[in-house]
Structure 1
Amino acid sequence: MPYSARSALRAVVVAATLTGALALAGCAPTASPSASPTATTGGGAATTKPSATPTPTPTEPATPVTLTCDQIVTADQLYAYNPNFGPNPDYKPKDGSLEKKVADWQGATCSWLNQTSGDVIQIAVAQPPASQLDALKNAAITDAQPVPTYGAPPIEGYFKTGDSGQVQIFRGAFWIVAESTAFFEPGDAAPLMENVLGNLPAG
C-alpha cells in the first residue's frame, strides 16, 4: 500500500478510536454492568491495520563495463596526446566524485599521470541503469556548459571549469566522465574524448 494511503488509514483509525472513546465516556454513567464484550468491536477493528513496513523496490542494475584502460585509451593514442603521460598505479576514485559513482555502477575507472608536470587525467566509463540517465543528463546541463564539438547528436557533451576541467559525455547507454587539471577548456580534452568514443562498442 502506498505511503499516502497508509497515512490516511492511520488517520481514520485514530479518529475512529477517539470518537469511540468519547462516545463511551459520554454514556458511561448509564452503562449496564452486564454490557456485552462485543462493545469492544471498534478496538478489534484496529487490529486489521496493515503493517507500516514498506515493500522494497527492486533496484535496477547497471551494465558492467568490461573494457580495460588500455582499451578505453590505447598506449599509442595516449602517446600521441602527450608522451609524458603514463599509467597512474595508485589511482583510486575519490568518495563523492563522479568517478566513484561510475565505479559503484561497475564501470571502468582509469587514470594517467604526467611524469613531468604531475597533472593527472581521469577517465571513467559506465553504463548506468537506464532509469538514471535522464537525471544524470539534467544534472550535467545544470552544472556545466554544452560542448557540441565532442560529438554530433544524439551524443551530448558538457564541460565544467574549476580546479580541474571536467567533461561529461552521453552516447547511447554510455556515460563518460573525464577530469584533469590539464583540461583548461573543452578543446584540451577533445582528442582524448574522440579516442574514447571511437574505442567504445556500439550501445
Structure 2
Amino acid sequence: MRSVRTTVAAGAAAAALILLAGCTSNPVAAGTRQSAAPTSVAPATPTTPPPTQDAADAAPVSIRCRVLAPDAVVQALEPELQVVRGWTPAPGSASARLEALHGTTCEWTTAAGDTLEVAVAKPGREDSVALKNDLVERSQSVPTYGGEAYFQVVDHVGQADVFRGRTWLFVRSNRFFEPGDATAIVSAALDALGLRSSATDAPAEGGAGAATPAPTETPAG
C-alpha cells in the first residue's frame, strides 16, 4: 500500500509540474504574440514619376512675377517675402516642369527661409489630361479654388495644382498648411491670367479673352 500511495503521489506531483510549466513557460513569446496585433497601413503613394509633357505642344505663357502675384497679396502671406530675380527652378521640381513648357516660374523667399513659388504654363491638350489623371492618384482633389484643383502637403510644404482648361497654375509654400491658405495667391494669379471667373480657357486659342497675358517682359520681376 505504501508503494502504491508513493506512486500515486509522484504521478500527481509530475502532473502538477506539467500544468505549472504550461501556465508559466515562455512568457516572452506570449507577450510577442500579443504585440503583433494588426495596425493600420497608410495609403500607398505613387512610386512612378509624374508624366512627361511635350514642350512642342505647349503654348508659351509669359507674365511678370509681380503681375502674376502682386506684392500686396504676397506680403499678406508673409511680409518679408521678396521676389528672387532670375530664379531657376531646381531640376526635376514641379516648377521646372512648368518652365520646360515655356511657362513663367517665380519664387519669393525670406531670410528666415520661408518660400513661395508661383508658376503657370499651358501644356498640350493630351498632356493636360495626363497631368490631371496623375494628380488624381498623387494628390487630393479640392473644391477650394473652383474648377479642377488639387492640394497636398509634401515634406511640410503645401502645394496646389489648379487647372482652367489647359492652363496649369502651380503654387507652393511652407506657409500653406491647408487648401485655404493658398486661396489669395491662387485667386490673384487667376485674375492676372484672366481666368478667375471661368472654368475653361477655350477662347484662348488666339481669340478674344485669351488666357496668355499680354506682357512679354522678362518674368523675373
TM-score tier after normalising by the smaller chain length: 0.5 to 0.7
Give the drift of 1:110: 0.3
Are the aligned partners of 2:55 and 2:123 in contact in 1 as well (CA < 8 Å)? Answer: no
Could you say what secondary structure the match of 1:149 adopts? coil
Deviation string for 1:5-49 (max 9, x for gaps)?
xxxxxxxxxxxxxxxxxxxxxxxxxxxxxxxxxxxxxxxxxxxxx
2:127 alignment partner, one of 126, 132, 141: 132
- CA shift, 1:87, in A, is 1.0
Moved more, 75-84 or 103-112: 75-84
TM-score, normalised to structure 2, is 0.60
TM-score by length of 1: 0.65
CA–CA separation in structure 2 for the residues paired with 1:80 and 1:181? 14
Distance (Å, rounded) in 2 between the aligned partners of 1:59 and 1:150:
26
Write out per-residue CA displacement over residues 46-94 of structure 1, whole angstroms, 9 at most, x where no aligned residue.
xxxxxxxxxxxx9842110011111111122223333221112363211
Correspondent of 1:79 among 72, 75, 80: 75
Q: How many residues align?
A: 142
Match of 1:158 among 147, 150, 158: 150
Equivalent pair of 2:68/2:193 in contact (CA under 8 Å): yes
Q: CA separation in 2, counterparts of 1:70 and 1:98?
A: 20
SS in 2 for 1:122: strand
**Could you tell me whether the CA contact under 8 Å between 2:55 and 2:101 is conserved in 1?**
no
Unaligned runs of 5+ residues in structure 2 are 1-53, 196-200, 202-221
Work out whether 1:177 is the aligned partner of 2:170: yes
Identify, as 1 or 2, the structure richer in helix.
1
The gaps in structure 1 that reach 5 residues or longer are 1-57
* Structure 1 consecutive aligned stretches of length 4 or more whose deviation exceeds 3 Å: none
The one-letter amino acid paired with 2:149 is G
